[in-house]
Amino acid sequence: MIYTFKITSPEVKDFVLEIEIDHEQTYLEFHDTIQKAIGYDNTQMASFYQVGAGGERGLEIALFEMNTEDDDNMNVVPMDVAMMREFVSSRRPELIYVFDFFSDRFFNVQLIKEGKSKAKTKYPKQTLCEGNAPEQIKMDAEDFEGLDLGEFETQSKKTKTADDYLADFDDEFKEGPEFESLDDYDDIL
């Protein structure tokens, strides 16, 4: 069985991508086909999510295995083992594909047709691509507002001198002899 998916962007209204994929292929193959069709870097984090009736995100089909042996989170499945037939059907035809995790940007993915595979056709395959996809990673200064950068300083510092480094040491311990130079140390030996 072949699935035909229509992929659209809430950001770019004229962008439409259609891909046909065999039901026995994996979400990783689907991910790679999307990335190649629109010229994205396929090593960036990405995930498919099933969409519930109220629009909430359900099961995550992630690019990388993130569960540990102690983790009982069965709500995340890696793309390389998730077969298309396992997580999509005409009863659940909608997914979202998050391609920019930092800004939570995504494509809407909808199953629009199921059919029989055609002999000698290699799947997955792109059947339509109209308009320009949005840029893959979007980072503006506004994206950093409210972030706690901890000890990172955003303004450049003056270069530290030797005295600045020595001032960082706590010299409360005054036990033993004091030396002003290495020659003083040689005198004691």
The string of pLDDT tens digits covering residues 136-148 is: 988 765 555 655 6
Q: Is the dihedral of CA 18, 21, 27, 30 positive or negative?
A: negative
pLDDT value of position 184: 62
* pLDDT for 155: 47
Residue 165 in any domain: the answer is no
Q: Does 169 reside within a domain?
A: no
- pLDDT value of position 92: 72
Decide if 51 is inside a domain: yes
In a domain, 8, yes or no: yes
Low-confidence ranges of the chain (pLDDT < 50): 152, 154-157
Does any domain span residue 53?
Answer: yes
pLDDT on residue 146: 59
Whole-angstrom distance, CA of residue 109 vs CA of residue 100: 15
The whole domain housing 111 covers 2-139
The predicted pLDDT at position 139 comes to 72
Closest CA to 136 of 41, 59, 58: 41
* Residue 156, pLDDT score: 44
Q: How far apart are CA 50 and CA 128, in angstroms?
A: 23
Q: What is the CATH number of the domain that holds 19?
A: 3.10.290.30
Q: State which amino acid sits at residue 44.
A: Q
